[in-house]
Amino acid sequence: MGLRIAGCAVALLVFGSVAALAPRPAAAREIVALGGHRYAPGTILVKTGERRLYLVLDDDTAIRYPVGVGRKGQQWTGVSRIDGKYVKPDWAPPDDIRRDNPKLPVVIPGGSPRNPMGVAALTLEGGEYAIHGTNQPGSIGGFVSYGCIRMYNQDVVDLFERVGIGTPVIVTQ
């Protein structure tokens, strides 16, 4: 029984420290000035056109992470909140992905090198999307998903430890 998230379905939480799941932080993560944008500290801002995710630290700064975002026709914008945190989630491909990839198994276990969710996932209210790691690090920086936000595994671990349930998420073009 998986929780459907467009392009990703989370089905399992394995307990333990998420920090132990990924090596050192990705070099591309950096602290940056927000440039006049005003968001509450703790807010996650995803700019799909930049293929970047920002975690707002204060009025002036944020941590910027490179991400992979929805491909053409699969992008979305809006406001949500984190409603779940999962370590090594199983993945049950939703119908739209199974139509495009009919040879996919019904479920790919968490921790499998074939599992596209990576080491952790933060699900978003509404049950359609997630911010998650990846088994294809070369896809980061591209328009590659069915709507989910992909991060390097090292970066999703960092974000996972910094945010909680209820964290606001704003997705813009």
Catalytic residue, from 120, 132, 154, 157: name it: 132
148 is a catalytic site residue: yes
37 part of the active site: no
Indicate which residue of 124, 148, 149, 169 is catalytic.
Answer: 148
Strands (E), 2-142: 3-5, 8-10, 30-33, 44-47, 52-56, 61-70, 78-87, 120-124, 130-132
DSSP state of 91: B
- What is the Cα–Cα distance from 9 to 107, expressed in whole angstroms? 9
C-alpha span between 147 and 145 (Å, rounded): 5
Q: Which residues are catalytic?
A: 132, 148
